[in-house]
């Protein structure tokens, strides 16, 4: 029964940060449990531009969604099964969350997580966050930027992380190494240097190891002391934690692990025959995302081939002057992104580009829940995309309609217009708002940003799963540190927010000097 000071479930974006930082102390032992293999010496993972080939492959958990009556029921919610997690699987678009994003968290009960408190953590990140390099700035993307500035009266942003913004268009900041297109993922930045140097003998990385249940007991029956895991060979073991278990498995697998351990809504667990250890109704609730749809154009022949990852630029607009931060975003794809339109009968052009209207502050709130007591059975994901509010208004759907109209304005403006041959999807004949809405909702997809399913909140928040110190309410010996604790969704791509969360989590977890003195003082526990 191997024992460590800290056992971390999930070697992904936050888990890599926390494992690396905790292991800086040579006097503690850290076990990092990762369900997938290493990313080292895997060019299909480490080469950023190869990201599309990872979706739906052997390194993807491939979660699906339940039926979405007003949306797309065929979305594949890719979750990475490899060291580095989704930072080894995604486009590495790197936005520091806006001050309004962090302040929204604090207002929602996440005391100590406001913008002023969180700002220093961006400077602690080890990732190589840089603007898309000049050699990777495709000519059509630059022309798109120039057209958007003209058509939508937007400023060009050179360095989205340099200062807060509400509107703007430009090349993204990415976590990558432009000289060879190598990822600067959480694993590359935080784990690889120590794996290669062998200078962290106290850090034990357990690859292709699946955590399926927490060990919960103690005198009160509420103390988490370890994690049950299964190795690639099928052998099952209990890893015990002398100090804490840290769950960093993400917005799907963190609530999944809790529920299979008997932590969740009592009625749901009882219905499946799972013994209830701790009734915590917020587990799996508040599932949030950044849904988006697409408009596709055929180009008049091929476009230049240079790119960092084929979606190197984007824009933000603020439609509502009362809104905090942007309320509509676009990614610009230098490829015809037609997976969902093809399912609706549209054909993929040989050469093309796309804009993807994205909802920064979606009002959809779904849930992750179990359908079986068998841990091998994947949970159900119901995002409740495009459900109208109590007044019958579909804010998310309207945001996409507004996005299509703005995208068409950009397409009519030079110098972008000269590249375009025709609009493929939804098609120039589709001009009625209801018709646009119907098509773009059916062709909607995800940007793979599920969050919020173990949300952080105040003591009087009945559905808060963790407190502002990331401790699971009603349990001891366990914290959660990943996107599942997001109370609300940042307006921007959330990866940097997860990395910053990991850095702050270390400050919350690591004993202070006062704590250390207390445990070694007379009468303390050495």
What domains appear along the chain, each with residue ranges and CATH number? 1-59+79-129+182-290+364-377+449-513 (3.50.50.60), 133-171+291-361+386-443 (3.30.410.40)
Contact predicate 94/495, CB 8 Å? yes
C-alpha 450/C-alpha 332 separation (Å) is: 21
* CA dihedral (37, 41, 46, 47) positive or negative: negative
410 appears as a binding residue in the annotation: no
Residue 111: how many CA atoms within 13 Å on its side-chain side? 6
Residue count (the chain): 526
Tens-place pLDDT, residues 358-394: 999 999 999 999 999 999 999 999 999 999 999 999 9
C-alpha 382/C-alpha 369 separation (Å) is: 8
Tens-place pLDDT, residues 488-525: 999 999 999 999 999 999 999 997 644 544 444 333 33
Q: Count CB atoms within 10 A of the CB of residue 154.
A: 18
Tens-place pLDDT, residues 262-276: 999 999 999 999 999
Residues tagged active-site:
449
Residue 68: how many CA atoms within 13 Å on its side-chain side? 29
**Pairwise pLDDT comparison (518 vs 463), residue with the higher score:** 463
Contact predicate 370/379, CB 8 Å? yes
Task: Specify the pLDDT at position 1.
Answer: 74
Contact predicate 140/334, CB 8 Å? yes
3-state helix, strand, coil in the chain (%, to 5): 30, 25, 50
| pTM exceeding 0.75 | yes
Contact predicate 473/452, CB 8 Å? no
C-alpha 200/C-alpha 217 separation (Å) is: 31
Letter string b/e over residues 449-474, b meaning 16 or more CB atoms within 10 A of that residue's CB:
bbbbbbbbbeeebeebbbbbebbbee
Cβ-count burial of 418 within 10 angstroms (0-12 exposed, 13-18 middle, 19+ buried)?
Answer: exposed
Task: Specify the pLDDT at position 512.
Answer: 61
Structure tokens at 510: 């690591």
Q: Count CB atoms within 10 A of the CB of residue 387.
A: 17
* CA dihedral (165, 168, 171, 172) positive or negative: positive
């Amino acid at each position: 029964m191997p024992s460590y000071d800290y056992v971390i479930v999930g070697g992904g974006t936050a888990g890599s940060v926390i494992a690396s930082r905790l292991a800086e102390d040579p006097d503690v032992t850290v076990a990092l449990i990762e369900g997938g293999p290493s990313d080292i010496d895997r060019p299909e993972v480490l080469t950023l531009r190869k990201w599309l080939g990872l979706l739906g492959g052997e390194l993807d958990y491939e979660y699906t969604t339940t039926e979405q009556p007003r949306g797309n029921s065929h979305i594949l919610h890719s979750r990475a099964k490899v060291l580095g997690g989704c930072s080894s699987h995604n486009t590495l678009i790197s936005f520091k969350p806006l001050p309004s994003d962090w302040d929204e968290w604090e207002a929602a009960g996440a005391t100590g997580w406001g913008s002023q408190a969180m700002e220093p953590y961006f400077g602690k990140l080890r990732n190589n966050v840089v603007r898309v390099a000049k050699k990777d700035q495709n000519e059509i993307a630059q022309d798109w930027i120039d057209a958007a500035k003209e058509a939508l009266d937007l400023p060009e942003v050179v360095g989205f992380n340099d200062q807060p913004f509400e509107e703007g268009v430009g090349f993204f900041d990415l976590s990558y190494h432009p000289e060879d297109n190598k990822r600067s993922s959480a694993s590359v930045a935080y784990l690889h240097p120590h794996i290669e140097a062998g200078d962290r003998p106290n850090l034990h990385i357990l690859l292709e190891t699946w955590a399926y249940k927490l060990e919960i007991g103690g005198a009160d029956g509420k103390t988490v002391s370890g994690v049950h895991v299964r190795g690639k060979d099928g052998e099952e073991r209990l890893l015990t934690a002398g100090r804490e278990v840290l769950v960093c498995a993400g917005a799907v697998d963190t609530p999944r692990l809790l529920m299979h351990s008997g932590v969740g809504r009592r009625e749901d667990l009882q219905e499946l025959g799972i013994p209830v250890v701790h009734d915590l109704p917020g587990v799996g609730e508040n599932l949030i995302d950044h849904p988006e749809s697409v408009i596709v154009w055929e180009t008049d022949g091929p476009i230049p081939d240079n790119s960092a990852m084929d979606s190197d630029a984007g824009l933000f607009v603020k439609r509502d002057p009362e809104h905090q931060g942007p309320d509509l975003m676009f990614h610009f794809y230098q490829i015809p992104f037609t997976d969902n339109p093809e399912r609706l009968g549209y054909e993929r052009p040989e050469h093309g580009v796309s804009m993807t209207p994205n909802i920064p502050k979606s009002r959809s709130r779904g849930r992750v829940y179990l359908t079986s007591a068998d841990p091998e059975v994947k949970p159900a994901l119901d995002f409740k995309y495009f459900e109208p509010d109590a007044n019958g208004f579909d804010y998310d759907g309207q945001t996409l309609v507004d996005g299509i109209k703005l995208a068409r304005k950009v397409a009519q403006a030079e110098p972008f217009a000269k590249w375009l041959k025709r609009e493929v999807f939804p098609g120039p004949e589709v001009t009625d708002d209801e018709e646009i809405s119907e098509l773009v909702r059916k062709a909607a997809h995800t940007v793979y940003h599920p969050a919020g399913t173990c949300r952080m909140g105040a003591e009087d928040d009945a559905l808060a799963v963790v407190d502002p110190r990331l401790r699971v309410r009603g349990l001891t010996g366990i914290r959660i540190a990943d996107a599942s604790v997001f109370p609300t969704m940042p307006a921007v791509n959330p990866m940097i927010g997860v990395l910053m969360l990991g850095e702050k989590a270390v400050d919350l977890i690591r004993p202070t000097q006062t704590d250390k003195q207390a445990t070694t003082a007379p009468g303390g526990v050495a």
